[in-house]
Structure 1
C-alpha cells in the first residue's frame, strides 16, 4: 500500500510538472523552463534512506510527529517557526543541525537568528528519542522531519523525508549573518539559492512558506519610512496597507503576519497577495516584478496543487543540502545544544 501511495504521488508530481511546462506563457524563454529541472542528488545525499531507522528506531517518525503535534496544539506559531528553523540550518553549512548548537558565537547567537524559535520543541523530541533509542537519531534528522510535520499540521502537503544525516560540530555566528533577511533583491536571492544547489523554481516555491508565520518589523521597516534612502515609503505599498503596517510596527522587534489575508492557512494566498501588492518583505514583493520569477508566482497563485507539489519537492531538495552521511563525517549528538564530549584515550 505504501509503495502504491508513493507511486501515485510520483505520478501526480510528473503530471503537475507537465502541466506546468505547457501552461507557460508563449513568451517565456525555454531557458527558464530548463532551469527548473531538479538537480541530481549529491553523493552524500544519495546515502540518505527512507527506512534508515526502521531497525534501529522504528518509531522515530511517530515520536517526532506526536511531539510536534502536541507543541503546535499549544502554540500554532511554532509551525512556521520550525520550517524557518530548518531553512536557517540548511542555509548555513548545510542541513547538519549547526543552528541548534548553543554557545557563544554560534549561529544561534547571531543577530540574524534572534527571532528563531522552536529550539525547545527539538530538545523535547531529542530527549524522548534518547530514552527510546539512545545515540541513534541525529538532531539534523529530527529538525528536518519536524519541519515536514509542522507543514502538514499547518494544512500543507506531505512528503517522504529520507534519513541518515549526521550532526555537524562547527557553528559560526558570522556565517549565519549571511542568511537572507528580507531586504535583498531577486538577483541576490537567486545567487544565494544557486549556491545551495537550488534553482529559481525552488526559490519561488520555498518563499511560499511565508503563507504562514510572522516577520519582525525591522526586516521591512525601511519600506515604511525610508525606502532606498529617499525618506519616503515604498511607492508599491498602498496607503491602507502602509498605514496598517505603521500601526503594527511600534518597535523593531514587533511581529507582523507575512500573509496579510489568511495568516494561519497554508495556501496560495501568499502568491495572490504579491499580485495585489500586499507582499510584506522586499524579497517577497520583488518576486512578482522580476521576469525570472513572476511567471512562477502567477502559476502558483492560480494552481494550488502545483504549489503543494513543488513545495514538497523543493523541501526535499533543501533537506539534502550539504548533508553529512559518511563514516568520518559528523556525529549523532546526545544533546542537540552541544557537541558530544571527547572520549578519553
Structure 2
C-alpha cells in the first residue's frame, strides 16, 4: 500500500459526514444473503491469482474510502459531468482494482439482488485481501450503506506520506482512531509498492543542511537514488514496500527500526515513546501485530456515512 495521501481542518468534518455506527452487526445478512462473504472471497481469490497486486490495492482502496466520508464506497463512484470523483484524484491514481469490486458486486447481485451494499463488499474484499496474503481473519461488521457523493477535492483530506507524528495523530484522532490504531493500521504498508514521488523528498534536497534525510540509513538512501534518479526517471518507477510485498507479515516494522522505511510518516512512528514501543512490539511479534491490526480494522471499517444500496457500484441509484 503506497499510502493514504492532507489533514482535516476541523473536527466538524468528522462529526457531520461519518460516525461510528451501532447499526452494523455480524449477522446483518444472515437471512437476506448468507452467501455474500463467500461469494466475494471467491471473486477476490480468483483475481488475486491472476494479479498479485490485487490484495494491496483492495486494502488501500478501503482505507482511502473510509478516511473521507466513512466506509460508504464513495471511492467507487465514477466522475460525472463537471464533478470529478475521488477515484480520479491524484492520491488514487495508482488504484487499479475497481474491476474486482465490480465483479464481486455482479456475483452477489445474481444471488441477492438489491441487498448487499458496495461498501460492505469493499470491506469484505479488504479483509479477504489480507487473509489471502497470509494475514489475519476478522469478522467484518455488516450493514453499511453506499454514499451518493464523491468529490476529488476531498482527497486532500487524506494523510500524506510526509506527515510527522503530530499530524498523523491528529488525522487519525479526527476519525476516532487512537495512537494504537495508527501504528497498527500503518502496518498495511507491508503489502504493495511505493512510487518514487512518495519519498523523493527524503533522498534529494531534504532541507537546507542535508541532501538526504538523516533518519534514512545511508546505504538504503543510496539504493533508492539508484532506483529513483532525479532526472530521466521512468514514469512508474518505485520499489516494493518490503522484501515480501505480497505477504502480510511484520517485516515493515523491522524495516522502520532499521531506518529503511520508505515513507517519512512511517519513520515518524519512532519519534514518541508510545509509538516507538508499539513498533518494537509488532516488529518482534507477528501475532501481536495481526491481533492489533484486526481490531483496528474493525474499528476503522465501522465508520459509516452512506444512504442507499447501489445496484451498480460506479453510479448512484
Going from structure 1 to structure 2, the CA distance change for 1:275 and 1:102 (only over 3 Å counts) comes to same
Residue number in structure 1 paired with 2:28: 52
Task: Supply the RMSD in Å over aligned alpha carbons.
Answer: 1.6
Matched, 1:306 2:285: no
Alignment partners' CA distance in 1, 2:220 and 2:123: 35
Larger RCO: 1 or 2 (CA < 8 Å, sep 6+)? 2
Q: SS of the residue aligned with 1:141?
A: helix
In the TM superposition, what whole-angstrom CA distance separates every residue of 1:77-135 from its partner, at most 9, and x where no partner exists? 11111110000000001100011111141111111111122111001111111111111
> Which of residues 245, 250, 272 is equivalent to 1:268?
250
Alignment partners' CA distance in 1, 2:207 and 2:137: 40
> Which of residues 102, 119, 125 is equivalent to 1:140?
119
Q: Is the 8 A contact 1:218 1:253 kept in 2?
A: no
Pairwise CA distance, 1:44? 5.8
Residue number in structure 2 paired with 1:69: 45
Structure 2 matches for 1:231-250, cutoff 5 A?
A: 232-249=211-228, 250=233
Alignment partners' CA distance in 2, 1:237 and 1:192: 24
Pairwise CA distance, 1:236? 2.2
Which runs of 5 or more structure 1 residues have no equivalent in the other structure? Answer: 1-41, 341-345
TM-score when normalising by structure 1: 0.81
> Which of residues 239, 258, 271 is equivalent to 2:241?
258
Bigger shift: 211-220 or 135-144? 211-220
Residue number in structure 1 paired with 2:307: 330
Which runs of 5 or more structure 2 residues have no equivalent in the other structure? Answer: 1-17
Alignment partners' CA distance in 1, 2:92 and 2:20: 27
> Which of residues 95, 109, 113 is equivalent to 1:130?
109
Q: Is the 8 A contact 1:217 1:252 kept in 2?
A: no
Pairwise CA distance, 1:220? 0.8
Alignment partners' CA distance in 1, 2:196 and 2:153: 22
Matched, 1:173 2:149: no
Structure 2 matches for 1:78-97, cutoff 5 A?
A: 78-97=54-73
TM-score when normalising by structure 2: 0.88
Going from structure 1 to structure 2, the CA distance change for 1:204 and 1:43 (only over 3 Å counts) comes to closer
Pairwise CA distance, 1:262? 2.6
Q: Is the 8 A contact 1:273 1:279 kept in 2?
A: yes
Alignment partners' CA distance in 2, 1:248 and 1:160: 40
Q: Is the 8 A contact 2:72 2:146 kept in 1?
A: yes
Residue number in structure 2 paired with 1:213: 192
Q: SS of the residue aligned with 2:172?
A: helix
Pairwise CA distance, 1:226? 1.5
In the TM superposition, what whole-angstrom CA distance separates every residue of 1:225-245 from its partner, at most 9, and x where no partner exists? 121355611122223212221
Alignment partners' CA distance in 1, 2:60 and 2:209: 31
Q: SS of the residue aligned with 2:181?
A: helix
In the TM superposition, what whole-angstrom CA distance separates every residue of 1:277-301 from its partner, at most 9, and x where no partner exists? 0111001111123334111111111
Q: SS of the residue aligned with 2:139?
A: coil
Alignment partners' CA distance in 2, 1:293 and 1:67: 37
Q: Is the 8 A contact 2:19 2:70 kept in 1?
A: no
> Which of residues 297, 312, 323 is equivalent to 2:279?
297
Q: Is the 8 A contact 2:40 2:124 kept in 1?
A: yes
